[in-house]
Amino acid sequence: MAFSLDHLLVIGISSRALFDLEAEETIFQNQGLDAYRQHQLENENAVLKPGAGYSLVKALLKLNSLTPGHRLVEVVIMSRNSSETSLRIFNSIEHYGLDISRAALSGGAPLTPYLQAFNISLFLSLHEDDVQAAINSGVASALLYQLPENAADLEQIRIAFDGDAVIFSDESERIYQEQGIEAFEAHERANAKQPLPAGPFARLLVALSYLQNNFKTPDGRAFPLRTALVTARSSPAHERVIRTLRAWNIAIDETFFMGGVNKSAVLAAFQPHMFFDDQHGHCIKAASVVPTGRVPIKQDLAQ
């Protein structure tokens, strides 16, 4: 019987995001493909260290153990490697006991056409071109930053999101950037009861909320997944956010309206496996304390 990826939370992750391949990336950039290929072949039995997305993937895969016989999460390696140079990746997956059996190895070709083919819900990579192309194609995607020192590895899965241009569209963010804070607040007051348009990560948040609401651990406890919204918004722009989540029938576990205050201290206290934000400045600060991914703005390719 054919295996279907429908109705699963499918994470597509590049090999460089799953494992620490920075030394290998340097070889590729400075010495070329042949040197990279030779290095990987000579070291294919050398286990790679965990990379920026490893903890999140490991935590999400644990969800499959909560519902025996019913998978909730699937992870697919999405790499521009060839099959010849990928054995080291698979050997490292086996070493860490990761339940990953599927891969798309494009041999240098763009990965975007294969995201829809594998029904990818979230794509994680350290290659900005691939992430931007994925966002442009409508797939929730993030460019990962290098791991902070002493990153936490909690049993409970924790994921934190920025609001505008991540969960919600960048409509209000554009008003703030182009017209300033007063115009932004006036717009949000006038539209407080009008739900915000969905952003690139809205469908992912809906999927996570579905898992929280419909599955329990074997002992009947709440699902071991916790979400947080950490947004630069504050009053009076808070109301539209609350009403939007209510309209979507989503309850985020923890919400922080920061009002422009640095998010890092709150993120360090929440300790997410990953924080998603759209602004590089916010991500740089956050990446010093928690695993972080930047969500690029969708580009209008018709222009």
CA distances from 284 to 11, 45, 160, 292 (A): 24, 34, 15, 8
- Contacts of residue 117, defined as CB under 8 A and 6 or more positions apart, other chains included, come to 104
Indicate if 34 belongs to the active site.
Answer: no
Question: Which residues, 6+ apart, have CB-to-CB distance to 98 below 8 Å?
Answer: 57, 58, 61, 75
Find the DSSP H helices in the chain: 15-18, 22-31, 33-42, 54-61, 87-96, 112-117, 128-136, 171-179, 181-190, 202-214, 238-247, 264-270, 280-286
Q: Is the dihedral of CA 151, 156, 159, 160 positive or negative?
A: negative
* Sheet order of strands, 225-231 included: 102-105, 73-79, 9-13, 122-125, 141-144, 292-294, 274-277, 157-161, 225-231, 254-257
CB-based contact 77:7 (threshold 8 Å): no
Of 34, 99, 130, 162, which one is the catalytic site residue? 162
Report how far residue 123's alpha carbon sits from residue 134's, in angstroms, rounded to the nearest whole number. 7
Q: How many CA atoms lie within 13 A of 277 on its CB side?
A: 23
* Residues labelled as active-site residues: 162
